[in-house]
């Protein structure tokens, strides 16, 4: 495990022609060094950077976990071209501190760097949150995390898998977990105005909500 403080450096895996110039601007604005390596196999011998930028990839899930284990103070920021919900959740569970769309990455990192400057904390420690389990041995709602910092979380079981999502409808903010759940399709219907979502992918199946969960 790294014991030294992170360098004021942004290390970027991959030479993405859109992303790299934006990150170079970001680094210059915050007086940070920027180094690019073509792949994660080239990270051996590099400094302990403040930020490591990586693409989201199924093949890299093990790498994220190993890197985060060895560099807990480094902000591991992953970017993706497409919002593939399950892969994003997998990258986050593997240890990525941020998983965002490529187009938003430099803006999100700028916010993180401002917070680092103001509060002296770049990587927020992960917290375990207590789940209130419900007596449901079958499919559907099996637990809630009512006091999560970013709003209540609902946990559903579907085909033996546990899927968690923010229990707030993106249409008008009603609690989704009180809605009707169809275990065959995995679709949950918002009790307020009928928006429908797939509980394990978060996909929006029907409006009036405009966004997935
Ligand atoms: S609050 Fe869920 S559909 Fe309106």
The pLDDT tens digits for 155-209 are: 999 888 888 888 999 899 999 999 999 999 999 999 999 999 989 878 889 999 9
Say whether both 107 and 141 belong to one domain. no
Question: 133 or 31: whose pLDDT is higher?
Answer: 31
> CB–CB of 206/187 below 8 Å?
no
| Residue 98 covered by a domain | yes
Spell out which residues line ligand 1, taking CB within 6 angstroms. 169, 171-172, 174, 190, 192-195, 208-209
| Contact partners, residue 190, CB within 8 Å, separation at least 6 | 169, 171, 174, 176, 179, 196, 197, 209
Say whether both 170 and 144 belong to one domain. yes
pLDDT tens-digit series, residues 4-43: 555 789 999 999 999 999 999 999 999 999 999 999 999 8
**How many distinct structural domains can be found in the chain?**
2
Say whether both 136 and 202 belong to one domain. yes
Q: How far is the centre of ligand 1, averaged over its atoms, from the C-alpha of 160 (Å)?
A: 27
**DSSP-assigned beta bridge partners for residue 52:** 11, 76
Say whether both 106 and 39 belong to one domain. yes
Tell me the ipTM for this assembly.
Answer: 0.98
CATH number at residue 74: 3.40.50.2300
Say whether both 112 and 158 belong to one domain. no
Say whether both 76 and 136 belong to one domain. no
Say whether both 15 and 88 belong to one domain. yes
Q: Choose one of 62, 90, 119: the last residue of a domain.
A: 119
Question: Mean pLDDT across the chain, nearest whole number?
Answer: 87
DSSP 16-45: -TTHHHHHHHHHHHTT-EEEEESSGGG-TT
DSSP character for 60? G
Residue nearest to atom 1 of ligand 1 (CA): 172
Q: Which domain holds residue 101?
A: 7-119
pLDDT tens-digit series, residues 78-112: 998 877 777 887 888 788 988 888 888 999 999 88
Tokens of 102: 């490529």
Q: Choose one of 61, 94, 119: the last residue of a domain.
A: 119
Q: Which atom of ligand 1 is nearest to the CA of 195?
A: 3
């Amino acid at each position: 495990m790294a014991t030294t403080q992170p360098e004021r450096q942004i290390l970027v895996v991959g030479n993405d022609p859109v992303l790299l110039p934006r990150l170079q601007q970001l680094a210059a604005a915050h007086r940070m060094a920027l180094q690019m390596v073509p792949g994660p196999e080239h990270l051996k011998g590099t400094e302990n950077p403040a930020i490591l930028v990586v693409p989201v990839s199924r093949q890299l899930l093990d790498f994220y976990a190993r890197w985060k284990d060895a560099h807990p103070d480094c902000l591991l920021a992953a970017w993706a071209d497409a919002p593939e919900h399950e892969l994003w959740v997998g990258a986050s569970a593997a240890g990525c501190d941020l998983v965002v769309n490529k187009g938003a990455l430099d803006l999100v990192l700028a916010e993180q760097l401002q917070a680092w400057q103001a509060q002296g904390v770049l990587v927020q420690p992960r917290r375990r949150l207590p789940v209130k389990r419900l007596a449901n041995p079958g499919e559907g709602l099996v637990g809630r995390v009512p006091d999560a910092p970013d709003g209540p979380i609902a946990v559903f079981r579907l085909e033996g898998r546990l899927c968690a999502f923010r229990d707030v409808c993106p249409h008008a903010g009603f609690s989704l977990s009180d809605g009707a759940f169809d275990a065959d399709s995995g679709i949950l219907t918002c009790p307020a105005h009928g928006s429908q979502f797939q509980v394990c992918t978060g996909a929006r199946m029907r409006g009036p909500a405009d966004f997935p969960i």
